[in-house]
Amino acid sequence: MAESLVALHRPSPWHSFRAGMWLGWQIESNWADPWVFTIYAVLRPVSLAGILVVMYAAITRGAFDSPVFTSMYLGNAFYIYVGAITSGMGWAVVQDREHYRTLKSIYAAPVMVPYYLIGRGVAGLVTASFSVIVILTLGVMVLGLGIGPGTVEWPLLAAGLGFGVMALAFMGLAVAGIMLLTGSESWALGDLLAGALYLFSGAVFPLDVLPSALRPIGLVLPVTYWLEVIRRALIPGDRGASALAAWTDEGVLALLAALTAATAIGAMTLFRVCERRARQRGLIDRTSNY
Amino acid sequence: MSNLPRPSKDTGWRLFVRTMVARAYPRVIGQQRQRWWMFFEVTLPLVGLSAYVFVYRAIGAPADFVGFVILGGAMSAFWLNVLWAMANQLYSEKQTGNLPLYIIAPNSLMAILLGMALGGMFATALRAAAILLLGSWLFDVKFTITDGWTLAGVFVLALCALYGMGMMCASLFLLYGREAWHLVHAAQEPVYLVSGLYFPINTLPHVVAIAASIIPLTLALDAIRQLVLPSGADGWLPVRVEMGVLLLLAFVFTAAARVLLTYMERLARREGRLTEAHG
């Protein structure tokens, strides 16, 4: 009996992840009825895509069949995952600690906090995926993007998405670790990281447009290779980002896998260090006039 | 005990003005004490607008379009302040437990809203100036002011209309719970799109531009571009017309804020929603 109780309460990564994901989804979605939530979930990303479309149309008079536009549109669409996962995890720490004031209870419960936080971040994946699908559908139907189920390289897309989501989740974990040490004044840390990734990964423009001094930053980010893999999977033969044009699909994927692994190790280490310091300084349950 | 001097009690317009100053004070001083907020509020728009600058460069846009983006980034600071520090503010005050104190104190809620607006305008003007200067320096944008007085007039009218809108939304949001936060979030990017934050408003269909004119940001940006980027700003409406509409919007929004605030406060009291927190 005692052994089974111990087994019952032993924290596992999967249970912690699942609990975090379920809670994250509830917090994100249960404030409105499904229709209102659907409109809300789609409105922001579609507007962001709309800004780029109008900017592009203002200059090129609507030359949407250009590979530059396709690359920009796809990068912007899939970038939604970056904001949803990375910012979401940092924000989860502030929410749990200062708004709901449950972080100390979570630490006291049989929960593996890093996996719980990754679950909180991944909860945004569902909403983000829905937005991405809507934006891609609009792109194909309204703007004539040449993407179709028959032309997509599905294995490459699945592998790219898998590694990409993992990389984003671990980046979010790093942000969450830093947020454990800072007050609510650092609320925008996740947004800042997401913004920097938007800029340096060449999400909406070829990396070559960046000043040469800034280009190396983009070349060490997993998001750069992730977006490149996605573009190549959706538009086979596309080599829009000329900085990576010489690489084969397998080469880009391998680099993405390696950078994801490096991000995972770095993020876990950083989170552990930050978490230990937060415990030592008694910061787990502090509030900073949220 | 009876020899103690009685504290002076302001009433009428003196109380109104003191309340306004008292509420504006933390807006101005707060940012000196929270340097991180200042950092984020300047850096975040700069990072975002940099990406749009590189998009324009990638598609070979004329140099003035970079100026559009810098101006849009600076003005977005005001829109974000109106959303988060005006429209959402009474909801936030409810969360932190201050709202009942505002209601109990013998002052006008309208004075509190005006104080928030004045403090917010001043603090955000500093941030917007920082974004404008840094953005212009980073991307080598030259603005040419053709009519300084008209520009100042447009700017003041734009702020009055924007913050009037913020006050009106704050009154509306008095009843809201957690949805207020999401609604404010939802009012960012869609407004950036329809107000032509990063592109000329006349790129959009006229129907959309006319509908978007209810958001003061739309006409303010169009007028400011015409006054500082004359070669690139193919204005949608004449500047004088845009100033007239902004003046009208400022009056309408402020009057609506006053009416709505009274109504919503009464409704919120009746439904017991002034003190709910963690909704």
Q: What is the pLDDT of residues A224-259, one digit of tens each?
A: 999 999 999 998 876 655 677 888 899 999 999 999
Q: Which of A133-137, A180-184, B158-162 has the lowest mean pLDDT?
A: A180-184
d(CA A284, CA A94): 10
What is the CB neighbour count within 10 angstroms for residue B1? 3
Which residues in A121-160 are b (16+ Cβ under 10 Å) and which e? bbbbbbbbeebbebbbebbeeebebebeeeeebeebeebb
* Rg of chain B on CA atoms, in Å: 20
In the numeric block, which tokens belong to residue A159?
């592998």
Mean pLDDT value across residues B190-216: 92
Nearest CA in chain A to B34: A185
A64 burial class (0-12, 13-18, 19+ CB within 10 angstroms)?
middle
Amino acid identity of residue A129, one-letter, is S
What pLDDT is recorded for position A31? 74
Find the range with the poorest average confidence among A65-69, A107-111, B166-170, B266-270. Answer: B266-270
More confident residue, A110 or B183: A110
Residue of B nearest to A193 (CA): B44
Q: How far apart (Å, rounded) are the C-alpha atoms in residues A263 and A171?
A: 7
The span from the CA of B180 to the CA of B175, in Å, is: 9
Rounded alpha-carbon distances, angstroms, from residue B75 to A105, A111, B61, B69, B72: 42, 44, 21, 10, 5
More confident residue, B91 or B46: B46
Closest CA to A255 of A213, A223, A208, A210: A223
Nearest-angstrom CA–CA distance, A199 and B54: 9
Residue B155 CB neighbour total at 10 angstroms: 19
CB neighbours of A225 closer than 8 A, spacing ≥ 6? A244, A252, A253, A255, A256, A259
Least Cα separation, residue B3 to chain A (angstroms) = 40
Contact A287/A182 with Cβ under 8 angstroms? no
Distance from CA of A283 to the nearest CA of B (A): 18
* % of chain A at pLDDT higher than 90: 50
What residue segments make up the domains of chain A, in order of their start?
11-280
- pLDDT for res B232: 56
* Residue from the list A47, A209, A290 with its beta carbon closest to the beta carbon of B189: A47
Compare B33 and A176 and report the one with higher pLDDT.
A176
Q: How many CB pairs under 8 A join A and B?
A: 111
pLDDT interval class at A183 (50, 70, 90):
confident
In this prediction the ipTM stands at 0.87
Separation CA B49–CA B71 (nearest Å): 10
Q: Which residue of B has its CA nearest to A59?
A: B61
- Chain A CB within 8 Å of residue B207 CB: no
Instruction: Quickly state the pLDDT bin for A194 (edges 50, 70, 90).
Output: confident
Provide, as residue numbers in chain A, all residues whose Cβ is less than 8 Å from the Cβ of B193: 47-48, 50-51, 54
Sole residue written with tokens 């509190």: B112
Highest mean pLDDT among A28-37, A55-64, A264-273, B22-31: A264-273
pLDDT exceeds cutoff 70 at A4: no
Average pLDDT, chain A: 87
